[in-house]
Amino acid sequence: MPAKASRDSVEGLVDSLLKGDKRSAGKLISLIEDDEPEAVEALARIFPHTGRAHVVGLTGPPGVGKSSLINRLVRAFRSRGKTVGVVAVDPTSPYTGGAVLGDRIRMADTGVDPGVFIRSMATRGHAGGLALATFDAVRVLDAMGSDLVFVETVGAGQSEVEIASRAHTTVVVEMPLTGDVVQTMKAGILEIGDVYVVNKVDLGNEDVLVANLKFQLEARDGWTPPIIRTAALEGRGIDDLAGAIEKHALYLDQSGGRRKREVARARLEILENVQRLLVRRVSEGSRSGRAFQNLAEDVAARRLDPHAAARKLLGSGSTAR
Ligand SMILES: Nc1nc2c(ncn2[C@@H]2O[C@H](COP(=O)(O)OP(=O)(O)O)[C@@H](O)[C@H]2O)c(=O)[nH]1
Ligand SMILES: [Mg+2]
């Protein structure tokens, strides 16, 4: 555990970050990941310098090829002259960044290509939830000057929706099943994607899945999600996918959709932070921490019901529920 960063060094870290320094980016993300008090100041300093990166979320079941696709996309966008950041929530994701890299420390500092920064987030406890920490890390890469930031999450339930509400472009990755099975989409998956990918087409059997998706997907706000066939290992379809992401980015700019998404995301993040602050306030060993304990004892003794206790704790005393 390194010594806690002082006030000066947070300022210094952010200054170097804004000049594109990857080491500072890594350190700042660690502060966020460990939920250090300095992270709040760092994020406040970083925030005015964000909003330029296009954030692309990839979601889909484990093993479908998200990491492989991102590896290919990184190269595709680098060759288009873009700088790229990657935040992966799944720490087992095999990212190369252009070279074979093993552990997290080396992943955070790929060093191979100054235009690529890859970071995997640990999935241990965050007071504000993993999604909050992940997208704060995205902000660090945004401020560093990344043109695009890819976010990979394991497609388990809630996280898919969380990605969709925060990314500019949500890419849903599926793959054809082999054998005689009827492939059904997970509930909600048809509503969240801006781009659909059918990966592993080298294994065949993809036509039914593509037709199925095509049949079910509908236009939303004038955007019909395209379905892209890819074979990530061979690099097939990657240019089409990169093109679809660029096209969606352009659509967001021209339709006013980008602003709409930013506002929706801001609402979500304000609420999350309110929740985090409240939890912190009532559970810390402060005056309200003691009040919390007393109220808990009242509820346990059936002197008070939990709803009334919550209202009391918030000090409102109002009838708001
Ligand atoms: N045959 C085939 N295998 C692939 C393809 N894309 C990824 N894989 C393999 O599928 C496995 C899971 O890939 P990975 O990118 O880690 O999936 P993730 O869990 O969604 O990130 C790995 O063994 C990859 O090599 C593809 O297009 N075709
Ligand atoms: Mg992965």
Give the model confidence (pLDDT) of 157-184 as tens digits.
566 666 677 899 999 999 998 666 666 6
The number of beta carbons lying within 10 Å of the beta carbon of residue 295 is: 20
Cβ neighbours, 10 Å, residue 290: 10
Question: What residue type is 238 in one-letter code?
Answer: I
- Give me the chain's average pLDDT, please: 83
Contact 17, 143 (CB under 8 A): yes
Q: Which atom of ligand 1 is nearest to the CA of 71?
A: 15
Atom of ligand 1 nearest to the CA of 68: 15
Query: Which CATH code is given to the segment(s) 51-255?
Result: 3.40.50.300
- pLDDT exceeds cutoff 60 at 257: yes
* Proximal ligand: closest to the CA of 73: 1
Task: Name the DSSP class of 220.
Answer: B
Q: 62 CA to middle of ligand 1, Å?
A: 9
Confidence of residue 99 (pLDDT cuts 50, 70, 90): very low
| Greater pLDDT, 178 or 207 | 207
Instruction: In whole angstroms, give the CA distance from residue 304 to residue 292.
Output: 13
Q: Which tokens go with 221?
A: 């706000």
Determine the Cα–Cα distance for residues 156 and 59; give it in Å rounded to an integer. Answer: 9
The preferred substitution site among 68, 175, 197 for testing ligand 1, maximizing ligand atoms within 8 Å of CB, is 68
| Residue 100 pLDDT exceeds 50 | no
* 235 Cα–ligand 2 center, Å: 16
pLDDT at 299 over 90: yes
Q: Which ligand is nearest to the CA of 69?
A: 1
Q: pLDDT value at position 181?
A: 62
CB 140 within 8 A of CB 46: yes
- 233, 234, 236, 241, best to mutate for ligand 1 pocket (most atoms within 8 Å of CB): 233
The Cα-based distances of 138 to 88, 151, 161 in angstroms read 10, 8, 17
Q: What is the distance in A from the centroid of ligand 1 to the CA of 269?
A: 32
What one-letter code names the amino acid at 300?
A
- The full set of domain ranges for the chain reads 51-255
The fraction of the chain above a pLDDT of 90, given in percent, is 49
Q: Which residues pair with 54 in a beta bridge?
A: 148
* Nearest-atom index, ligand 1, CA of 69: 15
Which protein residues touch ligand 1 with a CB less than 6 Å away?
60, 62-68, 93-94, 199-200, 202-203, 231-233
Look at residue 93 and tell me whether its pLDDT is greater than 80: no
Cα of 200 to ligand 2 centre, how many Å?
14
Chain centroid to CA 104: 18
How many angstroms separate the alpha carbon of residue 319 from the centre of ligand 2?
47
Is 152 in contact with 46 (CB distance < 8 Å)?
A: no
Lowest mean pLDDT among 31-45, 101-115, 123-137, 251-265: 101-115
pLDDT attached to residue 14: 97
Look up the pTM and report it: 0.84
Structure confidence at residue 182 (pLDDT): 62
Neighbours of 177 (CB within 10 A): 14
Whether the Cβ atoms of residue 148 and residue 167 lie closer than 8 Å to each other:
no
Structure-model confidence comparison of residues 17 and 9, the more confident one: 17
Reported as a pLDDT band with limits 50, 70 and 90, residue 12 is very high
Band of pLDDT at residue 34, cut at 50, 70 and 90: confident
Q: What token pair was written down for 60?
A: 């889909």
Among all bound ligands, the one having the nearest atom to the CA of 65 is 1
